[in-house]
Structure 1
Amino acid sequence: MTQSRDGTDRSAQRAFVWILVVVIVLAAALTGAWYYLANRLDVAVRAGIETAGGQGVAIACDNRSVFGYPFRLGLRCDAIHIDAPAGDFSAGGGALRTAAQIYQPNKVVAELDGPVIIDAERVPPLDIRWTLAQASMTFRTRGLDHFALLLENPVLALSEPANSRRPLVQSDRLEVHARRRNDSLDLAVTDRGVRVFGPTLVALPAFDTSVDLTVEGAADWLDGRRDGTTLGEALAGKTGVLRSLRLDLGGASAGSAEVSGPFRFADDHTLSGAFDIVVSDPQAIAALVAAVAPEAASIAGSLASGVAFAGTTENGRTTIRITVADGQAMLGVIPLGTLPPLH
């Protein structure tokens, strides 16, 4: 009986020793892998900064460090700065933190502290602030596959004069999602509780807005590869589908408008397409559009006037079909006006 018990104890001790050896070996392997990857990350970031410097773009990551041992791998900066004198652009922000789980290195999450100050050509210096800014990026073999951004309480303001910031736009919550789908780009944006400020806009109500669309052949935009420097140049020659472009003034009885349909941009940036528009309280929507986008005021007013007799109404919502050919908008056979080319 005693010999059997001693043999059992020795077997248990050997098993414990082997388990301990395996744990030590795995811990050593994990530690070695983490420090190897941390060094690769630091080298890659340093090489990227040097490459950008060779192209005339100075990037600074103050007090750069790699953190997250043992299960995360992240990069941290106390502040970030970007300066591109050739493009007359500079920007600076607060602390940046990025991290990926060691078992899922292709998904990176990031947080950035504000404010971000932007000084660019042809626009006044801008000051962007928020209470929370988070982003996530998923990478595949073809590059960036999915991108998501969340901003809580963002405020866009003029940064000068510094002692009296002048807010231009603020909202409660902004979300941006973009993903690669074969060669196409799916994009969804929602912005809730939007307030627009200005001398002529003081009476504007808060509103929600959202867009959900696909642009064919634009998947590489996720990697920063696109034609031209403006949105109009990037969309020239592109086709796509607008699943929803919605503007909502809030409340069950308040004005709302939603647009959907296929679209095409010509090489000269003019729009063509067939769009279904669902509207409630069209005059309120037209007034808001005219205040925010004066160049579209005439078409918005024409739509508001023509909705009652040109559409079908159900439950207080009217649906109409608008066709656009090379920028010329038509409600049936009624001309509504000309949409300017997208710049």
Structure 2
Amino acid sequence: MPSSTPESSNKRGRLLKYLIGGLVLLGALYTGGWYYLANELQTRVATNIAAFKEKGIDATCENATASGYPLRVGLDCTRVGWADPAKNLSVTAGTFRSAAQVYDPMQIVSRIDGPAAIDVPGVMPLDAKWGNLTSSIRLDKPLPKQISIEGSNFIVNQRDAAPGAVPIAVVQDGELHFSTTEPQMDVALSFNKLKIADNLIDNRSLPELTGAADVQLANGFALLGKPERDLTVLRGQSGTLRKVDLAFADGSGIAISGPFSIGDDGRISGDFKVTMRNPEGVATALQGIFPEAGNTIASVLQAMAFVPKDETGAPTLPITARNGKMKIGFISIGRLPSL
């Protein structure tokens, strides 16, 4: 084969130099753009914190630093906190890390380390620690489209508790998910092996619980703009309990599903299906919590033998609620509290 001529070799050499030069220029432009975005992120955080301080809220993101180069852009803080002196509310925690892929900046994932100090009006000062706590947010306008929070090995103690004191609450793991498609909102919650200290709630001994809830709110998007921070915010809402399930350690439990609505006065209406897995186990657990109602619980347990069963053999009751008044058929069984 004929050998390459000096002219063709020079052309290939120049092409290689142009290619390398182009890659270097592209890399320099990308790097400059990344650091510009990083600087904008740090500036925005500082501006937002200053705006909160003007409102009397002490928001903290100590040593805020952009990170993630080259494929991600995010923010790291050595300590984070939020304090609203007017409401006697404050939360401080450890290291915070967040990041978004450069090619998908609207999806932000974050991780926060404990321990945390929590002060809430009407509640004893608390300290919390956990093994893992992460979140994922899908940004959209005007509000986030999806929010997911997952954590494991939560332990909550009274602050300055004596060494070896029983924790106020322990949870093996839990998840919370929000998603919105205006005007609808879906909320899903689950937790495993929640144990609340005995005698903390109404001086009662509470068993270990595992639970899950999957709720659809027909106009849940409207909740995001409301100032209320208690259950009254749900007034005027309607939706569907896809499933609300509470289980005890032996596998027994109660599940509720069905459509519902909440009046402007907080009264609940709905058509619910209540299923009881292993009624004997449920009765034993409830008698431990409410020993004064032992006879009533025993009578209900006997009546469950005559209740229709679902495909798994679990007794299932249709319960209707109208303005808070509950009935099984034409038999009144009590009234739900107003929200």
Give the TM-score normalised by structure 1.
0.88
Q: Which runs of 5+ in 1 are unaligned?
A: none
Give the TM-score normalised by structure 2.
0.89
My pick for the range that moved more, 152-161 or 162-171, is 162-171
Give the corresponding residue for 1:213: 215
Give the corresponding residue for 2:236: 237
Give the corresponding residue for 2:186: 186
Distance 1:293 1:7 in 2: 96
Distance 1:334 1:40 in 2: 65
Deviation at 1:291, TM superposition (A): 6.5
Q: Which runs of structure 2 are paired with 1:95-244 in the superposition (5 Å)?
A: 95-161=95-161, 163=163, 166-199=166-199, 204=207, 206-219=208-221, 221=223, 224-230=224-230, 232-244=231-243
Give the corresponding residue for 1:263: 260
Counterpart contact for 2:198–2:206, Cα < 8 Å: no
Give the corresponding residue for 1:272: 269
Identity %: 27
SS state at 2:236 partner: coil
Q: Residues 313, 109 of structure 1: CA spacing in aligned structure 2 closer, same or farther, 3 A cutoff?
A: closer
Deviation at 1:286, TM superposition (A): 4.9
- Whichever residue aligns with residue 217 of structure 2, its letter is V
Give the corresponding residue for 1:38: 38
Deviation at 1:115, TM superposition (A): 1.3
Pairing partner for 1:282 from 279, 286, 292: 279
SS state at 1:167 partner: coil
Deviation at 1:233, TM superposition (A): 1.6
SS state at 2:305 partner: helix
Query: For 1:46-83, what per-residue CA distance to the aligned partner results, in whole angstroms no more than 9, with x for missing partners?
Result: 11111111111111112221111222111111111211
Q: Residues 220, 65 of structure 1: CA spacing in aligned structure 2 closer, same or farther, 3 A cutoff?
A: farther
Counterpart contact for 2:214–2:241, Cα < 8 Å: yes
Give the corresponding residue for 1:320: 317
Counterpart contact for 2:90–2:120, Cα < 8 Å: yes
- Whichever residue aligns with residue 258 of structure 1, its letter is A
Q: Which runs of structure 2 are paired with 1:286-325 in the superposition (5 Å)?
A: 286=283, 288=285, 304=301, 306-325=303-322
Give the corresponding residue for 1:247: 246
My pick for the range that moved more, 193-202 or 183-192, is 193-202
Deviation at 1:136, TM superposition (A): 0.7
Q: Residues 215, 25 of structure 1: CA spacing in aligned structure 2 closer, same or farther, 3 A cutoff?
A: same
Distance 1:24 1:302 in 2: 81
Distance 1:292 1:157 in 2: 22
Q: Which runs of 5+ in 2 are unaligned?
A: none
Distance 2:3 2:168 in 1: 85
Deviation at 1:336, TM superposition (A): 1.5
Counterpart contact for 1:138–1:144, Cα < 8 Å: yes
Q: Residues 315, 281 of structure 1: CA spacing in aligned structure 2 closer, same or farther, 3 A cutoff?
A: same
- Whichever residue aligns with residue 149 of structure 1, its letter is I
- Whichever residue aligns with residue 241 of structure 2, its letter is L
- Whichever residue aligns with residue 233 of structure 2, its letter is A
Deviation at 1:306, TM superposition (A): 4.2
Q: Which runs of structure 2 are paired with 1:21-100 in the superposition (5 Å)?
A: 21-100=21-100
Distance 1:127 1:55 in 2: 27
Distance 2:328 2:5 in 1: 93
SS state at 1:29 partner: helix
Counterpart contact for 1:283–1:301, Cα < 8 Å: no
SS state at 1:59 partner: strand
- Whichever residue aligns with residue 87 of structure 1, its letter is K
Distance 1:242 1:293 in 2: 26
Q: Residues 93, 290 of structure 1: CA spacing in aligned structure 2 closer, same or farther, 3 A cutoff?
A: farther
Query: For 1:104-133, what per-residue CA distance to the aligned partner results, in whole angstroms no more than 9, with x for missing partners?
Result: 111111111111111111111122211011
Distance 2:257 2:204 in 1: 27
Counterpart contact for 2:195–2:206, Cα < 8 Å: no
Matched, 1:11 2:11: yes
Q: Residues 268, 290 of structure 1: CA spacing in aligned structure 2 closer, same or farther, 3 A cutoff?
A: farther
Counterpart contact for 2:205–2:288, Cα < 8 Å: no
My pick for the range that moved more, 93-102 or 191-200, is 191-200
Deviation at 1:283, TM superposition (A): 4.4
SS state at 2:14 partner: helix
CA RMSD of aligned residues (A): 2.7
SS state at 2:219 partner: coil
Distance 2:296 2:271 in 1: 15
